[in-house]
């Protein structure tokens, strides 16, 4: 009988970065809140960046269901002028890095 070779078991290396920890719990599920309210501005501001962008689920830790409700609530609050569309004190587009002004060279 021929000798069988054993293949080494390959395991995926886990990256030891800060993302390898457990996911943050959804703030709405944790507090057992069923719906996101567009009038609750203090809570909604946590989900909007300094530039006025809606933060992603990966950053906020919200579940899929509540993240879509957050996006809808932020858009509704913007429409009613409760939240700004963009950051206040608009920064110039000239403050970009070396790649930001590529079209000007042509």
pLDDT of residue 96: 59
11-50 pLDDT tens trace: 665 565 665 678 889 999 999 999 999 999 999 999 999 9
User: Higher model confidence: residue 96 or residue 39?
Assistant: 39
Instruction: State residue 24's pLDDT score.
Output: 84
- Looking at the predicted structure, is the pLDDT value of residue 6 above 90? no
Domain 23-86 has CATH 1.10.645.10: no
55 and 47 in contact (C-beta within 8 Å)?
yes
Whole-number Å distance between alpha carbons of 77 and 86: 13
Q: What is the mean pLDDT of residues 65-93?
A: 89
Break the chain into its structural domains and give their ranges.
Answer: 23-86
Instruction: Judge contact between 87 and 52, C-beta under 8 A.
Output: yes
Q: For the chain, what percent of residues have pLDDT higher than 90?
A: 58
């Amino acid at each position: 009988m021929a000798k069988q070779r054993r293949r080494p078991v390959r395991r995926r290396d886990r990256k030891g970065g800060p993302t390898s920890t457990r996911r943050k719990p959804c703030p709405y599920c944790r507090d057992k809140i069923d719906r996101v309210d567009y009038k609750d501005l203090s809570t909604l501001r946590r989900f909007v960046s300094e530039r006025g962008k809606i933060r992603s689920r990966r950053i906020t830790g919200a579940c899929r269901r509540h993240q879509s409700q957050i996006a809808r609530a932020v858009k509704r609050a913007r429409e009613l002028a409760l939240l700004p569309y963009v950051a206040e004190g608009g920064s110039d587009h000239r403050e970009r890095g070396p790649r930001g002004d590529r079209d000007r060279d042509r």
